[in-house]
């Protein structure tokens, strides 16, 4: 463990002792019994809340979504990116079933923060698209997608937004029963997907809770509805086969033809993921203190692009990933101007090994600690807010053939605030954040620091009619370049590129704005947002035309860029038939992104999409049918291929044998019913890793 990481662990421990423990001890002396956290509720409730005590309702924020309860269980996939794609403005990188990050409004990578209970995943997922996020969706209780000024609570670099996965690994309340058990088990036919997860909370005293949880998921190679290769790539292989045949190489021609005609399943996409965690939490009337330890393991295949040569294919690449993690959460109520103080911290020891066949290719190691301290202001009239700080120390090292980024360390410190004010029919929201980031790589004599300021301001107008709101948000965001953008210099087989960074990059700046309108009552719920971002010194990768180590050279550049788009969702309860209420709903979104001054389209931008569904809901049954249409994407960079449009039809059903107040839900769904061969344009691997074909899924969700 480096000196930097040790120093940050000591700072976090000192904050815990000096600021939190005395307050928790004082609450324990009163003898009060534990009370549930008001910020949490029945996970199937339709009321939308966030975990932060200072923002108890999201109706003051724009563009925030929550997935929980049965909806989350129905959409669970192996990676968090693929679990959110039914929500407005969200796609996924879908590199492989074992590695997929969220894409928000066309942004991915370092412009989207993926968090677990407000703390980063502390893994290597930002280093490359083939690296999995070390968070298992099976253990999630709720997923929050944040945009607007509130994003600055989690990072000025989160220009696209933040995805915050909430689990129960550190309990927030003491069960009234002798124990509380949650369990989820499921099966998916497309990849022979077998999954199970469970958690157990046991009250040891009236204020002390022991928690344990675990999960496991095993999949085979994913089944698809057509050819593995896209029409363009398949045509390249068939042309190469023709040339081989004309040259008298019948064996080579047959080999290339077999590659081009491969169908049915995508090779090397199987996966196995296991997690385990245990925690202990004190929960008193005046504060709480909890600590957890967890283990995450995942083994998954990395599909390869078929080569045009007639020699033997390279051995399959698989990744074996392991993360040991420790987390802490503490809070205490305070008198005076601040009503609460919260400390959240996490430490991670992460390693994954990339195997080429049975041989070790590259080892990636990450050790890091992140902590955040938040002071919640007591509400005064219509004014409320929070002030906080965040510290980060991260050491990264790659050893082996694909060590395209040198050993480096990152130290980060930030202060931030979010303030909200209600003035009758007007609601005002402002946020500010300052980040100081130092990146060091002694092996290449690199040592730079970046100071960035980000700010946002929002105004919402609520006319007299209940449920109607109009608003505008303006923001200025700044992002320090990532270590990969600064220091890359080597072959990167996963992206099939020799990547070159630029150590002289400056910070990336963005001016953003969004206009939104919402209406919500017992019958209708509608939300629509238009947005845009104007970038200065936008960082992107482009092909140079050179070849190095048999790979095309991709270099990082900086140039101004423009993003704009819209997203909308709505639902209407239009009839009642017997015990069933009938509802129609829809989701649609579009992103347009371009490098300014003739630079052309930004690559991997999702195309226009529309999703519409009909639901029948009762206390015991929910039925749903939906159609998702994705347009073709022909606005592409010079080095990427277009994507065809596709239409997928899905259906699902939920049965609650004991009604909505019961503790058992049985779920069934048929996804991609007509076995369409679909490809997600945001994916690096779309030309040889299509989405799964027809997938019949069943699951059971139990709580006792």
Condensed to tens digits (0 to 9), the pLDDT of residues 331-361 reads 999 999 999 999 999 999 999 999 989 899 8
The reported pLDDT for the residue numbered 173 is 92
The reported pLDDT for the residue numbered 467 is 83
The DSSP-derived string for 175-223 is -SSS-EEEEEEEEETTTTEEEEEEEEEEESSSSEEEEEEEEEEEE-SPE
**How high is the mean pLDDT of the chain?**
89
Q: What percent of the chain has pLDDT over 70?
A: 91
Mean pLDDT value across residues 428-455: 96
Return the residue matching tokens 């004190």: 282
In a domain, 629, yes or no: yes
The DSSP bridge pattern shows strands 271-283 and 287-302 to be: antiparallel
Range with lowest mean pLDDT among 69-78, 128-137, 569-578: 69-78
Inform me whether the pLDDT recorded for 643 exceeds 50.
Answer: yes
Inform me whether the pLDDT recorded for 62 exceeds 60.
Answer: no
CATH number of the domain encompassing residue 632: 2.40.170.20
pLDDT classification of 42: cutoffs 50, 70, 90: very low
Q: What are phi and psi of 246, to 5 degrees?
A: -65, -30
Which residue has better confidence, 696 or 127?
Answer: 696
The DSSP bridge pattern shows strands 112-116 and 102-104 to be: unpaired
pLDDT classification of 215: cutoffs 50, 70, 90: very high
The reported pLDDT for the residue numbered 52 is 47
As a whole number of angstroms, the distance between CA 368 and CA 562 comes to: 34
> Both tokens of residue 277?
């965690």
pLDDT classification of 126: cutoffs 50, 70, 90: confident
The reported pLDDT for the residue numbered 4 is 55
The reported pLDDT for the residue numbered 46 is 35
463-493: pLDDT as tens digits: 877 789 999 999 999 999 999 999 999 988 7
Range with lowest mean pLDDT among 198-202, 375-379, 677-681: 375-379
As a whole number of angstroms, the distance between CA 254 and CA 232 comes to: 19
pLDDT classification of 58: cutoffs 50, 70, 90: very low
Number of C-beta neighbours around residue 33 at 10 A = 12
284-312: pLDDT as tens digits: 989 999 999 999 999 999 999 998 888 77
Range with lowest mean pLDDT among 33-47, 399-413, 448-462, 609-623: 33-47
The reported pLDDT for the residue numbered 566 is 96
In a domain, 247, yes or no: no
The reported pLDDT for the residue numbered 40 is 38
Work out how many domains the chain is built from and give that number: 1
Inform me whether the pLDDT recorded for 645 exceeds 70.
Answer: yes
Mean pLDDT value across residues 674-680: 96
Mean pLDDT value across residues 259-275: 96
Q: What are phi and psi of 54, to 5 degrees?
A: -85, -10
On whether the CB atoms of residues 209 and 283 are closer than 8 A, the answer is yes
269-288: pLDDT as tens digits: 999 999 999 999 999 989 99
Inform me whether the pLDDT recorded for 18 exceeds 60.
Answer: no
| Helix, strand, coil tally for the chain in percent (to 5) | 15, 55, 35
Inform me whether the pLDDT recorded for 60 exceeds 50.
Answer: no
Mean pLDDT value across residues 321-329: 97
Measured CA to CA in angstroms, residue 685 lies from 167, 249, 306, 633 at distances of 30, 29, 11, 15
Reported as type and span, the H/E element at residue 93 is none
Can you state the angle between helices 231-246 and 250-260, rounded to 10 degrees? 170
Mean pLDDT value across residues 140-158: 85
Residue 321 neighbours by CB under 8 Å, 6+ apart: 132, 134, 296, 297, 298, 299, 300, 350, 351, 352
In a domain, 338, yes or no: yes
pLDDT classification of 536: cutoffs 50, 70, 90: very high
Inform me whether the pLDDT recorded for 265 exceeds 50.
Answer: yes
Largest Cα separation within the chain, whole Å, is 90
The reported pLDDT for the residue numbered 149 is 78
pLDDT classification of 34: cutoffs 50, 70, 90: very low
**Boundaries of domain holding 686:** 3-228+266-283+292-453+465-486+497-703
In a domain, 259, yes or no: no
Measured CA to CA in angstroms, residue 253 lies from 267, 309, 310, 440 at distances of 21, 10, 8, 50
Q: What are phi and psi of 185, to 5 degrees?
A: -140, 145
SS3 assignment for 110-141 = HHEEEEECCEECCCCCCCCCCCCCCCCHHHEE
Which residue has better confidence, 18 or 184?
Answer: 184
pLDDT classification of 55: cutoffs 50, 70, 90: very low
Q: Tell which residue, 124, 128, 495, 127, has the closest CA to residue 304.
A: 495
The reported pLDDT for the residue numbered 403 is 87
In a domain, 699, yes or no: yes
Which residue has better confidence, 151 or 242?
Answer: 242
- pTM, to two decimals: 0.90
Inform me whether the pLDDT recorded for 37 exceeds 60.
Answer: no
Q: What are phi and psi of 13, to 5 degrees?
A: -65, -40
Range with lowest mean pLDDT among 69-78, 210-219, 342-351: 69-78
As a whole number of angstroms, the distance between CA 351 and CA 366 comes to: 6
Return the residue matching tokens 């027809």: 694
Residues, the chain: 704
Mean pLDDT value across residues 223-241: 95
Measured CA to CA in angstroms, residue 672 lies from 26, 626, 676 at distances of 57, 10, 6
Classify residue 298 by burial, with Cβ atoms within 10 Å: 0-12, 13-18, 19+.
Answer: buried
pLDDT classification of 573: cutoffs 50, 70, 90: very high
3-state DSSP call for residue 401? coil
Mean pLDDT value across residues 371-394: 93
Mean pLDDT value across residues 174-181: 94
The reported pLDDT for the residue numbered 309 is 83
In a domain, 261, yes or no: no
In a domain, 250, yes or no: no
In a domain, 585, yes or no: yes
């Amino acid at each position: 463990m480096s000196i930097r990481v040790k120093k940050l662990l000591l700072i976090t421990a000192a904050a815990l002792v000096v600021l939190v423990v005395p307050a928790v001890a004082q609450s324990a002396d009163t003898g009060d019994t534990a009370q549930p956290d008001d910020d949490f509720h029945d996970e199937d409730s339709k009321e939308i809340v966030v975990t932060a005590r200072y923002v108890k309702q999201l109706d003051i924020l724009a563009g925030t979504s929550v997935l929980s309860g049965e909806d989350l269980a129905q959409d669970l996939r192996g990676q968090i990116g693929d679990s959110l794609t039914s929500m407005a403005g969200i796609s996924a990188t879908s590199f492989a079933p074992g590695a997929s990050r969220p894409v928000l409004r066309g942004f991915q990578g370092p412009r989207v923060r993926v968090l677990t209970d407000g703390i980063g995943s502390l893994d290597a997922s930002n280093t490359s698209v083939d690296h999995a996020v070390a968070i298992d969706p099976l253990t999630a209780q709720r997923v929050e997608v944040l945009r607007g000024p509130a994003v600055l609570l989690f990072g000025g670099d989160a220009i696209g937004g933040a995805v915050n996965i909430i689990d129960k690994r550190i309990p927030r309340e003491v069960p009234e029963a002798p124990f509380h058990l949650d369990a989820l088990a499921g099966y998916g036919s497309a990849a022979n997907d077998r999954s199970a997860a469970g958690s157990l909370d046991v009250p040891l005293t009236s204020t002390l809770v022991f928690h344990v949880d675990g999960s496991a998921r095993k999949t085979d190679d994913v089944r698809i509805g057509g050819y593995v290769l896209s029409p363009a790539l398949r045509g390249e292989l068939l042309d190469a086969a023709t040339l081989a045949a004309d040259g008298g190489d019948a064996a080579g021609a047959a080999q290339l033809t077999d590659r081009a005609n491969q169908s049915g399943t995508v090779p090397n996409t199987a996966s196995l993921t296991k997690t385990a965690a245990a925690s202990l939490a004190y929960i008193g009337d005046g504060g709480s203190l909890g600590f957890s330890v967890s283990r995450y393991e995942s083994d998954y295949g990395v599909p390869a692009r078929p080569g045009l040569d007639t020699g033997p294919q390279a051995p399959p690449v698989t990744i074996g990933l392991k993360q040991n993690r420790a987390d802490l959460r503490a809070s205490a109520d305070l008198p005076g101007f601040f009503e609460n103080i919260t400390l959240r911290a996490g430490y991670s020891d992460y390693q994954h090994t990339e195997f080429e066949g049975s041989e070790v290719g590259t080892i990636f190691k990450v050790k890091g600690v992140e902590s955040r301290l938040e002071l919640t202001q007591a509400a005064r009239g219509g004014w409320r807010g929070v002030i906080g700080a965040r510290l980060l120390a991260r050491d990264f090292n790659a050893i082996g053939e694909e060590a395209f980024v040198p050993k480096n360390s990152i130290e980060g410190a930030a202060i931030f605030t979010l303030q909200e004010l209600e003035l009758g029919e007007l609601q005002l929201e402002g946020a500010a954040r300052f980040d100081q980031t130092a990146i060091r790589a002694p092996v290449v004599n690199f040592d730079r620091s970046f100071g960035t300021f980000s700010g946002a301001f929002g105004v919402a107008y609520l006319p007299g009619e209940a449920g109607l709101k109009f608003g505008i948000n303006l923001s200025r965001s700044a992002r320090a370049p990532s270590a990969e953008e600064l220091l890359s210099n080597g072959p990167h087989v996963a992206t099939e590129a020799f990547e070159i960074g630029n150590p002289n990059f400056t910070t990336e700046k963005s001016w953003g704005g969004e206009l939104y309108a919402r209406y919500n009552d017992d019958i209708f719920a509608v939300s629509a947002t238009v947005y845009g971002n104007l970038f200065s010194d936008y960082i992107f990768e482009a092909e140079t035309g050179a070849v190095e180590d048999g790979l095309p050279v991709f270099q990082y550049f900086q140039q101004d860029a423009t993003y704009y788009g819209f997203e909308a969702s709505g639902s209407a309860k239009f009839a009642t038939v017997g015990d069933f209420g009938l509802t129609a709903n829809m989701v649609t979104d579009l992103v347009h992104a371009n490098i300014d001054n003739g630079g052309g389209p930004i690559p991997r931008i999702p195309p226009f999409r529309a999703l519409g569904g009909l639901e029948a809901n009762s206390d015991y049954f929910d039925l749903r049918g939906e159609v998702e249409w994705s347009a073709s994407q022909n606005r592409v960079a010079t080095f990427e291929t277009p994507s065809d449009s596709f239409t997928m039809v899905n259906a699902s059903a939920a049965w609650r044998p004991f009604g909505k107040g019961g503790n058992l839900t049985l779920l069934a769904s048929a996804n991609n019913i007509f076995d369409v061969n679909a490809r997600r344009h945001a994916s690096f691997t779309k030309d040889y890793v299509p989405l799964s074909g027809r997938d019949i899924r069943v699951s059971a969700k139990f709580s006792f």
